[in-house]
Amino acid sequence: MAEREVFYKQRGANFFRTASYVLATSASQIPLALVETLIFGSLVYWLCGFESEFQLFLIFEFVLLVMNLAMGMWFFFLSSVGPNENVVTPLGMVSVLVFIIFAGFIVTKSQIPDYLIWAHWISPMTWSIRALSINQYRSDNMDVCVYDGVDYCADYGMTMGVYYLDLFGIETEKYWIVYGIIYSLVIYVLFMVMSFLGLEYLRYEAPENVDVSEKPIEDESYALMHTPKNSTNSSGSHVVQLDNREKNFTPVTMAFQDLHYFVPNPKNPSEQLELLKGINGFAVPGSITALMGSSGAGKTTLMDVIAGRKTSGKITGKILLNGYEATDLAIRRCTGYCEQMDVHSEAATIREALTFSSFLRQDASIPDAKKYDSVNECIELLGLEDIADQIIRGSSVEQMKRLTIGVELAAQPSVIFLDEPTSGLDARSAKLIMDGVRKVADSGRTIICTIHQPSSEVFYLFDSLLLLKRGGETVFYGDLGPKCRNLVDYFEGIPGVSPLPVGYNPATWMLECIGAGVGNTAADSTDFVSCFRNSALNSALEANMAKEGISVPSPDLPEMIYTEKRAADSKTQM
């Protein structure tokens, strides 16, 4: 159950197919089951004084092994379909109790009521106990007429072994041993398939990855792209200068044009609520774009729409990658999404988690050496050198957030979405996290980040800002400038807005201006949406949106084309 949340996250990120996960998990249980069977079976068999024939001992061990696997797969199935541990744990205990009671040992088959006899025949333990009993009592030393001075053939018309099997209502033919083994194997495979179906089609949380387009998306392809050397768009704007390290990703400009998002009104389902109202903007490689606003402004909603994670409602508008209209598959394959509270496999080390992500989310054509290099790059960019070989369990909140970013970064995405990366952190830890994010952006990736009232030091690390007012409307979009000078000059130029006090946090002041803070200086009397709509900033935004490589395809920038949903091949997934 604890690993299921990790599975949901990794499958959603296209690490592997559900079938690959189920098969790999099943195969990984075989060595443990084999060791358990050898130790337990060896002790029980010889201490109980069973027949000292090696062939009978091997049959005993094999029957135990297949029953162990069948029961293990039964519990795996329960954990796959159960909503939580509070349901699965008692259900598992009750099922074991039923299997034991109706196995024919505590209550013989003849004593089981006819309307419950089905429980006897479906219990895996029934078939295993029958096979083990026949294995012993039909052996050469026990399947005899005279045993311990009693002539069973003369008195009962059957051998001693058959007599005692019949006494407990157990079948006596030796082929029931084979039937028992076959039944356990069938149960093992059956519950494996049912576990696959449960994990594939049941999910006890809101699904995240959805199609943001209004038309069906055909299968696209996943092909490794290479960063064009010294590429620019036709206007010469937004040139990205990267370091000399070879990249496994393509720098991408992500743009969104006239985005609207509608959901049914809970009070009147026939009506639609518009949560986003014609949002425009773009984020270029090598930059960090902040999405900010008051509670209910729609900043997280906007990011989820752009990232293709909204499942309900209606979305209109365009999402573009390098000027080409994005498809659901392209967004999934070339972006990474960092949750506020992410989940990881606690038994792994930080380096192992990064390596796992790197090998499953980078293309199979990329050499393993480059994948290991990308892991080392993640460790360097995020300052994880001292804790790279540390077990994840027990890591601090700040370390877990760096790991979350690293797991996405190891996939070599072109665009990374961050949902409140500094939430729950003190000022120092928040600065450390954002310094790492700044290094990631400087490596040529596009960063889009929601954040709530950052400190001045953190706010100065952002390049651009999209500010939303409650109701999902834009009140500012543009470059922040040095020390947020562009932002401050814009708001101070609006009549009725109080100037930024000396030494005051511009992020806090900005939110207070639009009524998202506690000051509400001009929020009641000023229409900030109209002010932005009529401003030079909006004119500049419209002009930039019309450029090649942003909302118009450019011959100098590649289209993100993919053919396969998952990057890794089936062998790697297993």
Give the mean model confidence (pLDDT) for residues 260-269: 85
Task: Identify the CA nearest to 477 among candidates 339, 279, 340.
Answer: 279
For residue 573, the model assigns a pLDDT of 61
Query: Between these two residues, 212 and 160, which has the higher pLDDT value?
Result: 160
- Portion of the chain with pLDDT greater than 70, in percent: 87
What residue spans define the domains of the chain?
Answer: 2-201, 254-573
Q: Which residue stretches of 313-367 are H helix?
A: 328-334, 350-361
Task: Identify the CA nearest to 351 among candidates 432, 410, 396.
Answer: 410
Q: Using pLDDT thresholds of 50, 70 and 90, give the confidence band for residue 345.
A: confident
The one-letter code for the residue type at 247 is K
DSSP codes of every residue in 262-314: EEE-SS-TTSEEEEEEEEEEEE-TT-EEEEEESTTS-HHHHHHHHTT---SSE
Superfamily of segment(s) 254-573: P-loop containing nucleotide triphosphate hydrolases (3.40.50.300)
The one-letter code for the residue type at 291 is L
Q: Compute the mean pLDDT over every residue in the chain, rounded to the nearest whole number.
A: 82
Instruction: Look at residue 523 and tell me whether its pLDDT is greater than 80.
Output: no
Q: Using pLDDT thresholds of 50, 70 and 90, give the confidence band for residue 570.
A: low
Q: Find out whether 299 and 250 touch, Cβ atoms under 8 Å.
A: no
Question: pLDDT per residue over 212-263, tens digit each?
Answer: 343 333 333 333 333 333 333 434 444 444 445 566 778 889 999 999 999 8
CA torsion sign for 260, 264, 266, 271 is positive
Task: Identify the CA nearest to 404 among candidates 417, 390, 385, 389.
Answer: 417
**Spacing of C-alpha 248 from chain mean position:** 22
CA dist 328 → 49, 216, 268, 301, 339 (Å): 65, 10, 30, 17, 19
Return the SS3 of 147.
strand
DSSP 218: P
Question: pLDDT per residue over 470-485, tens digit each?
Answer: 888 899 999 998 888 9
For residue 186, the model assigns a pLDDT of 94
Q: Find out whether 33 and 72 touch, Cβ atoms under 8 Å.
A: yes
- Parallel, antiparallel, or unpaired: how do β-strands 272-283 and 288-293 relate? unpaired
For residue 193, the model assigns a pLDDT of 92
